[in-house]
Amino acid sequence: MNVMDTRATSAMLYLDGVHVSFDGFRAINNLSLALEPGEMRAIIGPNGAGKTTMMDIITGKTKPDVGVVLFDGVTDLTRLDETRIAELGIGRKFQKPTVFESQTVQDNLLLALNVDHSVRGTLFWRGSKAESERIDKVLETIRLTEARNRLAGSLSHGQKQWLEIGMLLAQDPKLLLVDEPVAGMTDVETHLTAELLKEINKTHTVMVVEHDMTFVRELGVKVTCLHEGTVLAEGSIDQVSSNERVIEVYLGR
Amino acid sequence: MTPHMLTRSLDRGATMFLAIVAACGILIPLSNLLLPAGSFFQVPTYLVALWGKYVCYAILALSIDLIWGYCGILSLGHGAFFALGGYAMGMYLMRQIGTRGVYGNPILPDFMVFLNYPKLPWYWHGFDMFWFAALMVLLVPGLLAFCFGWLAFRSRVTGVYLSIITQAMTYALLLAFFRNDFGFGGNNGLTDFKDILGFNVQAEGTRAALFMLSCLGLIVSFLICRAVVSSKLGKVLIAIRDAESRSRFFGYRVESYKLFVFTLSACMAGVAGALYVPQVGIINPSEFAPGNSIEAVIWVAVGGRGTLVGAALGAVVVNYAKTFFTSGVLAPYWLFMLGALFILVTLLLPKGIVGTFNAWRESSSEKRAAASAAAEGGITEPNMAE
Amino acid sequence: MFLIAFAVPAFAGPFEDAVAKFANDDFSDTDEAIGAVASSGNKLAFPIISALQDGRLMADPDSKKVYVTGSDGKSIDAATGEPVASVPDSASAVRLNNRLRRSVDAALGSLTLQSPDLATRLQAAQSVFKSHEESALEPVDAALAKETSKSVKVALGEARAAILLFKPDATEVEKLEAVATIRARGDQEALALLTGMGDQPALVAKAAASAIGSIQSSLAVWSTVQNAWYGLSLGSVLLLAAIGLAITFGVMGVINMAHGEMVMIGAYTTFVVQEVIRTRYPGLFDYSLLIAVPLAFLVAGAIGVVIERGIIRFLYGRPLETLLATWGLSLVLQQEVRTMFGPTNREVGNPSWMSGAFELGQITITYNRLWILCFTLAVFAILLAMLRYTALGLEMRAVTQNRRMAASMGIATSRVDALTFGLGSGIAGIAGVALSQIDNVSPNLGQSYIIDSFMVVVFGGVGNLWGTLVGAFTLGIANKFLEPVAGAVLGKIAILVLIILFIQKRPRGLFALKGRAVEA
């Protein structure tokens, strides 16, 4: 692999001319997007716009037919698998909360910690004080200290969403991809989640996919609207939501 | 195994299980050897051999539970690893026969003389030495599992697809070992053993010692399994079982974990087979039959997948039932019962005996805890991890 | 009496003298007798010579009388044709040596060359071709002059050519013509004849060498065609066994390890139908399979529905448990059939239109294999049409693609599940009817197909019927081409290993679906 000694871009995440099709259906069509370090970006768009497929491409689950996907300006993500990409520092929260249901909240966080993930390392692992302190801190952030010994499967829907965000915090990636974090949450929980993400954004680059416009507005960040696998509009929430095409295909009149 | 791993793996259930196995492993052979034949407490030799067989099955069940119960890999070909371990031991035992065979050939086993082999095939060399055979017992199943797993896990063959190709694997081996020119005795397999390490395999003392060794094998296998599942690696395995792709996104190399545990499990199955062969006195290709492997899976399901004690218990219970029913007037109904067992366990008792018992105990202790918490207004006690 | 007296004159003539020579127990006398009897034109010539061939010609050295003992144990006097009560104890069978055996063959050949029965004439010509005795040249020429049937004429021409090739005093022109005729025949026997004819004039040897080369290459082509046919035939069997599985596993995602037992039940249904026909309506035997097909579909289909309702529906979304439960079910079904019909093979007969074979060029095609191939393709086509054009097919596809959406649109998903599973099982039952024609009908019948069927479906790609078709024929043909090279068992092992490797490369088969839907 040709390692470039100069960064091709200053962006943390850089997508250019990406195409993917499944059996003739073009899921992603000439998609180009750049996320600067430390930025938080909200992605909106109708169902089937390619939001989840885009995340699949970034995290290595799906390989693009053509196109450039660069992480941190130097690493070509299209050549790597999910594990390698996660090791590089890209974390992902799924649309449907996916936690390890048959294990405790505490163990879920332990599994997410970005320590030695090799077979040997985990076989001979002994807990350390630093690790348990980090877990305690995350538990506090996501307000699950009380539930630390409960099975993750027994948590409420909102708690599971938070646990998954907490797992991302424990993983401590450079870039967080968050897919519909407030789906199915109450208003209060939604508000708390927005606060949490803003807090996380102080130290991490974040990309959030969300339908809830109130939530997106509350985040107060740059918005990208996807449609049919390509960027339809980009800018502040006010700019985007007043764009004629966006209103037509997504927001409605 | 480091000390902290040992202490971590020994919870109350595990200690109790080990104590029972150790007690059986010592008391049964002693009663067989020391007490007069016919006395009430004397265990007859045929029972020692029979229970020795069950113990070997229990090791096989542990190895299946390790991958199925904790990592979600349902292998329908574990009988192949068991049989390969058995063949490696059988080859050693064949070489020990020496000139006492029907044809009296000092080097070639009888079946080779019969089939006009000019000389010993290259892969039979070294099996006259016990240490070499013992090494092969681990190495051959381990290597096959490693190669097979490397191919399968790397290309993410999972679930029923993996089950089906493991079944195809054991089926292919079945066909191969049935062939005379494959060099393993064709459909007669290997039998008529005389000595193991200089002791007569038929002798009471040897049988008692083999029983003891099998119990020791079970204890060691159990400890290894416990050490694995109670380590952080065990948590990763469960994470892979429950949400494989999620584990990948946390940076776990799923294929390496699966490969490790699959290979370990195959080695254990091989040891079980190696202990089994001298006690039953024969190894033939029918051990590769796909049905055998599936039957071993049902032992685990009956006992409780994901509970190591359950797997061992299931192996003993189902095989005891098999011996009991197939020897009496109920023999024609055994297959009905076995079939019904498959159906009923999956439908009505998905957690198996031990799993159901654990769940019942947990829920009742939870109720008690909740009651006391309500009374004291304190914090509930942490649940057991398992 | 009068008729026999008329046919066989009572006085001793050349025929009677010739017959008496058989009693001399002398090989050269016997040889003369064969020639004289064969050329006598007497009606008894054929029974005498064929009795001689079978060791049923008895001669009494004391009375010089010769008898023909029929295969039914009754005897006649060879010279007069009159029945005799018993052959004297002093009589023994006329002995033959290898030289005489050839004479007998040739004599029989020429005797039957002009038989009124076409098949007999053809066979006689073939046997002359094989024996190529010089003595048969005259009868062959005589027969050729009278022959009217085209196929017999060709056979006689080939027989004549074979004789000429081995006749030392035949001219070079005759021999060259003969080589050309045999080259045109072009089969294994022609090749054997040409390679075994010994020293020949240079020109003839050259022509023969070129003919050998041409026959060999054409035979190679034919053996490829033969392998391809065997492969197609095996492929059709695999497809038949796998089609039902392609529905239950491919479309529904249910692992039915008892699928093979559905095939077995179909085969036993055929057995029961034939038993009833044999005892009650023997005239209907040729229709037994036509009756068995719908019955097997209904029986296996009904059992399938019961299985789905009773077991499988509780296990949706738990494929590994489904696998175990259905394996248990397969044990129960096998044991049930074993209890009802016994553990041994049961006899299922071929109707007349399924037995026999015909020749196509240099290969033989049996009717049962051909019918099974046609039947398989018909079942496949009907199934495809059913999925595409009927309401049930539409509902089935809807439920497969999006169960919740289908349910919310008013499709009774559980009814569709039961019917789909019933359909898959019913087709397995139909497969059993066909397989009963070529395989042993025993309780283990299904076991031998289950792994192969899964291999076909997995190899072809789950959820795609065309994939199953291509997969079955690919595996069938690959198997039959590997077999001559590696042997039957090693060939099968090689196929299994190749599939295992293939699954590593393409985990979802030849015709895999792509995209996010697959993950769900």
Size of interface B-C (CB pairs under 8 A): 116
Residues of chain A contacting residue C515, judged by C-beta atoms under 8 Å apart: 22-23, 25, 27
Distance of CA B166 to the CA centre of its chain: 16
Name the one residue in this structure whose structure tokens are 């055996």: C101
For residues C406-421, give the mean pLDDT.
86
What pLDDT does C7 receive?
A: 42
Q: What's the half-sphere exposure (Cβ side, CA atoms, 13 Å) at A30?
A: 1
Interaxial angle between packed helices B290-303 and B45-71, expressed in degrees from 0 to 180 and rounded to the nearest 10: 80
Q: Are β-strands A40-44 and A205-209 bridged in parallel, bridged antiparallel, or unpaired?
A: parallel
User: Contact, C253 vs C421, CB < 8 A?
Assistant: no
Residue C514 at interface with chain A, using a CB cutoff of 8 Å: yes
What pLDDT does A152 receive?
A: 92
Which ranges of chain A does DSSP label H, i.e. alpha helix? 51-58, 82-88, 105-112, 119-123, 129-141, 157-171, 187-201, 213-219, 237-241, 244-246
* Burial class of residue C42 in the structure, from the number of CB atoms within 10 Å of its CB (0-12 exposed, 13-18 middle, 19+ buried): buried
Integer angstrom CA distances of residue B173 from B23, B57, B162: 38, 20, 17
On whether residue B364 sits in a domain, the answer given is no
Average pLDDT of the residues of chain B: 89
Q: How confident is the model at residue C6 (pLDDT cuts 50, 70, 90)?
A: very low
Cα distance from C513 to chain B (closest Cα, Å)?
15
Q: Is A224 helix (H, G, I), strand (E, B) or coil?
A: strand
Residues contacting C49, CB < 8 A, separation 6+: C34, C37, C38, C104, C107, C108, C111
Q: What is the pTM of this model?
A: 0.82
Q: How confident is the model at residue B4 (pLDDT cuts 50, 70, 90)?
A: confident
What's the rounded Cα separation, in Å, for the pair B57 and B318? 10
The three-point CA angle C446-B60-B164 to 5° equals 35
pLDDT beyond 90 at C149: no
User: Contact, C134 vs C160, CB < 8 A?
Assistant: no
Q: How confident is the model at residue B374 (pLDDT cuts 50, 70, 90)?
A: low
Percent of chain B with pLDDT over 70: 96
On whether residue B12 sits in a domain, the answer given is yes
Residue A132 at interface with chain B, using a CB cutoff of 8 Å: no
On whether residue B173 sits in a domain, the answer given is yes
Residue C85 at interface with chain B, using a CB cutoff of 8 Å: no
What's the rounded Cα separation, in Å, for the pair B87 and B94? 10
For residues B221-230, give the mean pLDDT.
94
User: Contact, A190 vs A214, CB < 8 A?
Assistant: yes
Residue of C328, C339, C500 lying closest to B168 (CB–CB): C500
Residue of B5, B235, B256 lying closest to A111 (CB–CB): B235
What's the rounded Cα separation, in Å, for the pair B19 and C299? 54
The three-point CA angle C473-C475-C477 to 5° equals 65
Name the one residue in this structure whose structure tokens are 């034919």: C222
Cα distance from C369 to chain B (closest Cα, Å)?
26
For residues C85-89, give the mean pLDDT.
79
For residues B328-348, give the mean pLDDT.
89
What pLDDT does C41 receive?
A: 66
What's the rounded Cα separation, in Å, for the pair C478 and B13? 54
Q: Show which of residues 11-70 on chain A sit within 8 Å of chain B, judged by CB atoms.
A: 59, 61
Candidates B73, B171, B342, partner chain C, best to mutate (most C CBs within 10 A): B342
Using CA coordinates, name the residue in chain B closest to C343.
Answer: B332
What pLDDT does C1 receive?
A: 39
**Residue B251 and residue A87: Cβ atoms within 8 Å?**
yes
Candidates C513, C516, C519, partner chain A, best to mutate (most A CBs within 10 A): C516
User: Contact, C63 vs C121, CB < 8 A?
Assistant: no
Percent of chain B with pLDDT over 90: 61
Give the DSSP letter string of A36-53. Answer: -TT-EEEEE--TTSSHHH
Q: How many structural domains is chain B composed of?
A: 1
Which residue type occupies B323? T
- Give the residue, C113 or C514, on which the prediction is more confident: C113
Residues contacting C457, CB < 8 A, separation 6+: C242, C245, C246, C249, C250, C468, C471, C509
Residues of chain B contacting residue A176, judged by C-beta atoms under 8 Å apart: none
Residue of A92, A99, A150 lying closest to B249 (CB–CB): A92
Residues of chain A contacting residue C516, judged by C-beta atoms under 8 Å apart: 22, 27, 52-53, 56
Neighbors of chain A by Cβ distance (3+ pairs < 8 Å): B, C
On whether residue B209 sits in a domain, the answer given is yes
pLDDT (tens place) for every residue of chain A, 253 residues total:
444 445 667 888 999 989 998 877 888 888 899 999 999 999 988 887 888 889 999 998 888 989 999 998 888 898 898 899 998 999 998 888 889 999 999 999 999 998 888 899 888 888 888 899 999 999 998 888 999 999 999 998 888 888 998 998 898 899 999 988 888 788 888 888 898 889 889 888 999 998 888 888 888 899 999 888 888 888 888 888 888 888 888 777 6
**Residue C500 and residue B342: Cβ atoms within 8 Å?**
no
**Residue C516 and residue A23: Cβ atoms within 8 Å?**
no
- Per-residue pLDDT reduced to its tens digit, C239-288: 988 988 888 887 777 888 999 999 999 999 999 999 999 898 888 888 88
What pLDDT does B373 receive?
A: 62
Of the listed ranges A2-6, B251-255, B289-293, the least confidently predicted one is A2-6
Nearest to B170 by CA among B9, B333, B297: B297
Cα distance from A112 to chain B (closest Cα, Å)?
6
Domain containing residue B119: 3-350
**Residue B383 and residue A91: Cβ atoms within 8 Å?**
no
On whether residue B380 sits in a domain, the answer given is no
Q: What are phi and psi of A234, to 5 degrees?
A: -145, 140
- Per-residue pLDDT reduced to its tens digit, C352-396: 888 888 887 778 888 888 999 999 999 999 998 988 898 888 888
User: Contact, A40 vs A221, CB < 8 A?
Assistant: yes
Q: How confident is the model at residue C518 (pLDDT cuts 50, 70, 90)?
A: very low
Q: Show which of residues 161-190 on chain C sit within 8 Å of chain B, judged by CB atoms.
A: none
Neighbors of chain C by Cβ distance (3+ pairs < 8 Å): A, B
Residues of chain B contacting residue C328, judged by C-beta atoms under 8 Å apart: 298, 338-343, 346
Question: H/E element holding B51?
Answer: helix B45-71
On whether residue B85 sits in a domain, the answer given is yes
On whether residue B386 sits in a domain, the answer given is no
What's the rounded Cα separation, in Å, for the pair B375 and B315? 44
Give the DSSP letter string of B204-233. Answer: HHHHHHHHHHHHHHHHHHHHHHHHHHHSHH
Size of interface A-C (CB pairs under 8 A): 12
**Residue C515 and residue A56: Cβ atoms within 8 Å?**
no
Nearest to C156 by CA among C194, C196, C133, C126: C126
Name the one residue in this structure whose structure tokens are 């009217």: C148
Dihedral sign for Cα C392, C394, C395, C401, please. Answer: positive
- Give the residue, A116 or B65, on which the prediction is more confident: B65
**Residue B251 and residue A122: Cβ atoms within 8 Å?**
no
- Per-residue pLDDT reduced to its tens digit, B162-187: 898 899 899 989 989 998 888 898 88
Name the one residue in this structure whose structure tokens are 């006391």: B372
Integer angstrom CA distances of residue A173 from A167, B352, C59, C516: 10, 40, 107, 25
Q: What are phi and psi of C441, to 5 degrees?
A: -90, 100
Number of neighbours of residue C385 by Cβ within 10 angstroms: 11
At B368, list the tokens. Answer: 């008690």
Name the one residue in this structure whose structure tokens are 């509009």: A233
| SS3 sequence of C373-411 | HHHHHHHHHHHHHHHHHCHHHHHHHHHHHCHHHHHHCCC
- Per-residue pLDDT reduced to its tens digit, C456-494: 888 888 777 888 999 999 999 988 888 888 877 888 888
- Per-residue pLDDT reduced to its tens digit, C111-138: 777 777 777 788 778 877 877 777 777 7
- Give the residue, B317 or C93, on which the prediction is more confident: B317
**Residue C515 and residue A52: Cβ atoms within 8 Å?**
no
pLDDT beyond 60 at C5: no
What pLDDT does C178 receive?
A: 84
At C307, list the tokens. Answer: 């299985």
What pLDDT does B233 receive?
A: 94
Residue A203 at interface with chain B, using a CB cutoff of 8 Å: no
- Per-residue pLDDT reduced to its tens digit, C31-74: 888 878 877 767 777 778 878 888 888 888 888 888 888 777 77
Residue of B152, B176, B346 lying closest to C504 (CB–CB): B152
Residue C455 at interface with chain B, using a CB cutoff of 8 Å: yes
Q: What is the ipTM of this complex?
A: 0.87
Name the one residue in this structure whose structure tokens are 């048969």: C136
Q: What is the dihedral of CA C93, C96, C100, C102, to 10 degrees?
A: 100
Q: How confident is the model at residue B21 (pLDDT cuts 50, 70, 90)?
A: very high
